[in-house]
Amino acid sequence: MNLEHELAKYKNISFESRVACSVCASMGIVPILELPNLPLTEIFISQPGSPTLGETDQALHYCSHCGHAQLQNILDQSLLYSNKSGYEFRTSQSYTGRNTTEFFLNFFSSLKFKDHFQCVLEVGCNDGFLLKKLKPFANSLIGIDPILKDNEHHINDEKITVFGDFFENCDIVEKPDLIICKDVIEHVADPKSLIAELINKASDNALFMIQVPILDKIIENYNFDHIFHQHLNYFSVSSFTFLLESLGCSLIDYTVNEDHWNSGIFAFTNKKNSNSLKVKKISLNEIEQSLRVYKSQLNACELALEAAASRLPVYGYGAALMLPVIKYHFPNKLASISKIFDDNPSRDGQFYLNSTTPIVTTSQMIDITNSAVMLTAFSSRLNAKRMLNRLNTELNPIQIYYPFNLLNGAI
């Protein structure tokens, strides 16, 4: 199949629209951010892209009843994930993955729920890195992730059993007393049904730990570049606690890892507690104010880049998976950047679907000491710190732009 034929599927993308809140079923959801022609992310091609390729109208809606936010349009899921058959991310091999797992384990230990568990179930276990860390705390551990298909034997041992399939296709006969679901629920069209099914599988008074990006921090840290087609749900602390109460569960505690996509980790049990947590919902005024700050930051950064481009070469550093959405929010789509350098040699010579800006591996980088460079990969604060350090200590461009000095919190 030639590339042109393969790319045709990214034109006129089909979708279904939601009209009710996926947490409380309210019909009173309202648009808070219109995103016309929002580009797809995480796709690289071997030729210059086309300005409209992979772009589809989108909108973020907000429910004032429970405080949940969600995308209006659910794109064809087979299209969104069809290029993930060779999904490369492995927690054990990723600096960010290992650090976020350590954060997760520290929070788990702080709960002091109980010393030992009969059975652990992790839905979305990736390469089993977290399950292996939990082996001393359980008699048996089960992991589910479709990326493990035909490779289960690399992880299975005397305690761990993994299934390379989707959760709904797995027949789990055990009644786990610790259920973990990290970075999954935000991708699911009906999150309430999935969590209800997890509760149904569990033993009485089980511990649940679910990790999702939370809306509160997106608003607080001006992270509207974190809104993209694959993440259908944006829970707030308010909407997640509302969901738990509607399912007869009780929140134990929660924390936020601001280094990892503003992710909230919610620990709860399926044992009903009369003490419900009262959480203030995010107001529409708070959202509007955050959007104003976000847009003003982008405008100021792009003006500075365009001024620099009148006297210096301007480059980007970091061919981030999310860069198409980051560029989308800039008024002129970062047109002054002529190349994007990246440390991953496999990105060399590639392009994004909707961009003609080439990606060049840093091993082929020319002397950039007389250049202006913008950090273009910053969704993960951990990566941003590492890359900014390299810009300052090794690459030494004459000007460095970290575009959002207010975004993602302090670096």
- Distance in angstroms (rounded) separating the CA atoms of residues 140 and 203: 14
At residue 274, the pLDDT reads 66
Q: In sequence order, what DSSP letters do the residues of 337-397 get, joined into one string?
A: --EEEES-GGGTT-EETT--PPEEEGGGPPP-TTSEEEE---SBHHHHHHHHHHIIIII--
At residue 85, the pLDDT reads 41
At residue 1, the pLDDT reads 56
Q: Cα dist. 254→17, 104, 110, 283, 342 in Å?
A: 31, 11, 11, 21, 35
Each residue's pLDDT expressed in tens, for the chain with a length of 411 residues: 577 878 999 999 999 999 999 999 999 999 999 999 999 998 999 999 998 999 999 999 999 999 999 999 999 877 876 654 444 456 766 777 788 999 999 999 999 999 999 999 999 999 899 999 999 999 999 999 988 989 899 999 999 999 999 899 999 999 999 999 999 999 999 999 999 999 999 999 999 999 999 999 999 989 999 999 999 999 999 999 999 999 999 999 999 998 888 899 999 999 887 676 778 999 999 999 999 999 999 999 999 999 999 999 999 999 999 999 999 999 999 999 999 999 999 999 999 999 999 999 998 888 899 999 999 998 777 788 889 999 999 999 999 998 765 444 444
- Tell me the whole-structure pTM to 2 decimals: 0.92
Those residues with Cβ within 8 angstroms of residue 18's Cβ, 6 or more apart along the chain or in another chain: 61, 70, 71, 72, 73, 74, 189
At residue 405, the pLDDT reads 57
Q: Tell me, which fold does domain 93-280 have in CATH?
A: Rossmann fold (3.40.50)
Q: Where are the alpha helices (DSSP H) in 85-173?
A: 95-111, 129-134
Looking at the domain that runs over 285-401, which CATH code has it been given?
3.40.50
Is-contact 395 370, C-beta < 8 A? no
At residue 2, the pLDDT reads 73
- Distance in angstroms (rounded) separating the CA atoms of residues 176 and 195: 14
Tell me whether the CATH fold assigned to 93-280 matches the one assigned to 285-401.
yes
Sequence ranges of the domains in the chain: 3-82, 93-280, 285-401
At residue 404, the pLDDT reads 66
